[in-house]
Each structure stands twice: as C-alpha cells, then as structure tokens.
Structure 1
C-alpha cells in the first residue's frame, strides 16, 4: 500500500506533552503535526509520559523554591522529570514495539532514543538558547542545568534525525551540542488559525492586540512603558491584552483593556479582526505561533528581533522588529503603524500572503515525510 506522496505506508507513534487528547479533533500548537503526517503515514497512537500523582508530589517536594513561579518552573523541567518521563515513555514503547515502525518525539524534554528503534525529534527550542537569552525562564541550580545539558545532548546524539521549527534552533543543535549538520533539518511550523473569510477591510481602528499567557517573558512590561508614549502621540489608541490570568495593569489605565485568558476561539478571532496590529515584544520566545496566527488574520506584527521571530516576521515587509527591551523603539514602531492605515494594510496583506503560501502544517508534514519514511524502511 502506498500513500499519494509516493512513499509506502509506515506506522508512526508520537510522544509529546499534550496530555490525553485526540489529535483529530483537538486543536493545539503541536497536535496539528499529527494531522499533517496522517496524509503520509499511519498514526498508530500518540501519548504523554505522565508520572503518577505520588511521583509528581515527590518531585514538587524536591523542587521547592520560595517563589511559586520558580517552584513550578523547576518542578516541570529538571533532570528528575527528564529521566522519569524518559523511563515511562521507553517502557510503553518497548511494550508496543511490534505496533510501530518509527517514533516521533516532540520537544527535547525527555528521550526515547537509543533502544534500537528509529526515533525522530521535532524541536522548537533548546536549553542552550534559553540559558543564552532568558535563563530565569527555568531557575534550575547550576548543577541541575549541567546535568540537563548532558541528558539533552545524549538525546540529540542518539536520535536518528532532528527536525526543527526554525533555523535558530537548527544552529543551536549543531553549534551548541555538536550534532552533525546532516542529521538536522529545518521544517518550520504551521498556524492553527484558518485563513477563511475576506481580507481585512479596515486598518484605521488604532487598536493594538497582545496575546500571551506569560506577560513578563513576552515583554509586557516593556509594552506598557512604550504604550505611555503611544498614547501621548495618539490619544485615541487602544491596547487589548489577552492571556495573563492575573490583571497586569491597574483598572482604568488609559487606553488599556485587560481580557485575561480567552479560550473561546470565536471571541479570540473577533479580537484579532477588530485590531489594527498585533504586538509581541518578547524578551525570549523561541517560536511564537501566535505571530503566524495574527498574520493569517491580516494583522501586521510588531515584535523583537531574536530567536526565530525574524524567520516568521520579515522586518519592513510583514511587520516591524525592534531590539529586545527597547521601549522607545517599540513605541516608534507602534505609532508608525497605528497612524498610517495604508502601511498597516500593506504589511498585513504581505503577512497573510506569506502564511497562505509557505506556513502550513501540511507543508511541515510533507517536509518531514521523506525522512520518517526512510527511517521506517531501515532493516
């Protein structure tokens, strides 16, 4: 039996951190890759190696930090969780070895490689990039970080092929971890918003939209500082903030509206449709899918020039990129687009076209398919 891609059908099993969900019906930033690969392979199953409640409690006890956010960060990402998730995933895969030909592991938070069956990784980030750009994202001790890097390096060495969402991550895998370039391939990532509907008709609202759960890491404080300058120049400008669970600005702050988490997709798309531009001045975000979602809705994007963001937003074409942490530059970019509807339209239409032409999950699946099929065909 052969797929339309020309490759013979092979059986693929996925391992990720998405929990117990059905990839066929649930939309998620990583689940879409399975739907894309379903055209090229038989997806046997996908699962998350989740420790028992007792093991989770023990890990939290051993990971204690005085600051709740630091405590949660270390508990979710430390050498203990890496080894524990690896052991659970490997045990399950060994028990089902006769059911699949190749395993696809999404992200490098554990390892299933080195047991004799083919393994491909799909990465959006590396710990080396995190430590270089935003080490406070995971406040492990020095010893824990060194141990994590050893485990991560071994996972990359033992994997048969490594797919990356960006060139920034590909370079990190080869340069920071010493992995042969021939084994690492950039395949990109798609958008989870559909393009449906006509092009955005109006860019005169003077409304900026920010969407991210982690306000500080995604430059929220820099944005609020810049917004004071925006309001001084454009008194009618509005900033919509979506994502943070706790109110991040005092009630009544001029021109700023806080919506908290918005899980209803129709309401969220309505906020995108009503905005003039999308702003995400991240201090560090290895691959912000939300930028592509904004571009798919015809919004020009204002973001920062770091990690994979310049691979998503082309400065001066589909948006404006400013230095990380530069409130004055951010304010200037926002004022320019909010006060010039035609420039916003030009950037927005260019971004929408870029997403429709070269940023789909189907294209990601097609880029992965030959490598996965070759692995599955190994004797």
Structure 2
C-alpha cells in the first residue's frame, strides 16, 4: 500500500429511495423503498472497507450508487485522487462522469453472467481500452497480456471463450477487465459469493496481492462476515438502508457494540465441527424497506429491545477510536465477540 494515506472516498448522507406503485395495475398510491437511507463512511487510500449485511440491507445499492450506475436522490460522494484534489462524483455531468469513471470500476458478483459469451478473454480485457482509445496495435496487445499475467491468466487463456473456464477463472477474467483502465477505486460486489469455498480464498488472495502491487482501494460488499474479516481493514454493518456499526476489523470482532453485529457473528460457522451450534439471536425475517419499524429498525427482532427502541431512533455515537454504533445500549451491553478462527 502507499505510505501516504488520505480519504480517497468520502460518502456523506447518501440516500436512494425507489418509488413502488401498489395495486395490480400499479395505479394506486406510491410506496417508497428506502434502499439507502442516510449512509456515511470513508475509505482511506489503499484500504479495503467492507459493507456487510443480510439481503435487502442496501449494501449493493450503496456500491452502485457511488459509481452512479444507479443515480442517488441526495448526498455527497467525494473522490480524492490526491490529498489536495477532491471531486464530487454526484455533481459531474455525463461528459465528465464518463471520463472520471476510468478511476472507478466494478467487479460483479456472478462470474457466469457478467462476461459476454461471444467474446474471447482477450477481447473482454481489451474492450475498455479500445472504447476509451487508450491503446492500439502492439501496445494494446502488450497491455492485455500484462493485465492477464497480473490476474494469473496465461497467454493461452486469451484465445478462449468464457464457457471454457471454471467459476474462479471467470472471476479472474472479470477482475482483469476491471483493472484494464488502471482504476484507483474498485467496488467488489460480492465477488466470491458465487464460488466454491475452496476457490474463494484464491480470489481473495489475488485481490490482496493486486491491492498491494497497484495501490488499489476497495469497497468490498458481502453478506459473509468471515469473508469480510479476511480481507477488510474496516467494516460497516448495514441493516435496512443504514449503517448501524462501523469499526476497524479487529476492533469489531473483539468488541461488537450493536446487537445486529452480534447476530451476524453468531452465524459464522465454528472452526470445530463438533462444537455446539450457536443459538439464533435474531427472530424472524428482515422487515420490508417500504415500511421499516419505528425507532430502531432492529427492535422487532432484537432480544435486547426496550420501550425506547420502539419510539426513538438511536444516535450515531463514537465509543472508541473510529468505532461507531447506533444503539441505545451500546455502552452497557456485553455482546458476544467471536472470530471465524
């Protein structure tokens, strides 16, 4: 990683609400899905920041909104390519956004559907370079081979089509495509969730090696806390469109302050297969984002909930160096810390 550190990405009060019409013909009153509801965080240059939560928490929408693959309703997304140079992504017009997108790329979740089956690996990697008119001729071919080598793909692979590869190899191709334009920030949208466990570590180690070599900054989205623990420097825990806890990885796993974080940790498989199973801490399913519970959104599922949790939204407070939580009882609860081993 780079020795000089600064906030490469800073997100402030990001919101994305989707209108949803009711009724069979969609003619009744509009409901609103609060997919992202006031999210704020930062990522230092060369750091990996993880967003974790159940399906429907809004974590993927955050990543795509930052890239403006989905247009946000409000908020700020500041990118600093140098400590002195700040750009508000949400304020860019289409022309300047297209140019700036070279600095921000996405690694997709599904390596099977994210690659064009009619293109060779060489063409997939070369496409962004050709579209942006960065290389041509022998320079283009040299750059494609360089990227392939960085992603542990050999020259023979470049002539093949995606169907000839395993899931892990296809994800390497997707990573190579994301690297083509020398981005500074990469949003990794559950990049290993569709892969076998035996392959996941290989892809995670590749991402770590590339980060160290190329000084990359990652926003890593996942639902598996054990994966997040392995690769991330800092973690934001999301529930129903909001970040409910944020801390450095070691601190979060040794001293969780929010009941939802504790619940996610309880779902991590024990290293010892003979160890007794941990009890399920949360009750029921995640509520509908069209009508989230009042007060603390978690209170219908939380075993620690009191009357204040039903009535008042908890404040976002710092309880230690860079350790934040939004729970009325973060300072008094003795939550279960764990590690995947």
The TM tier, using the shorter chain, reads under 0.3
The normalised TM-score by structure 2 is 0.26
Question: Highest relative contact order (Cα 8 Å, sep 6+), 1 or 2?
Answer: 2
Which structure has greater strand proportion? 2
Which structure has greater helix proportion? 1
The normalised TM-score by structure 1 is 0.24
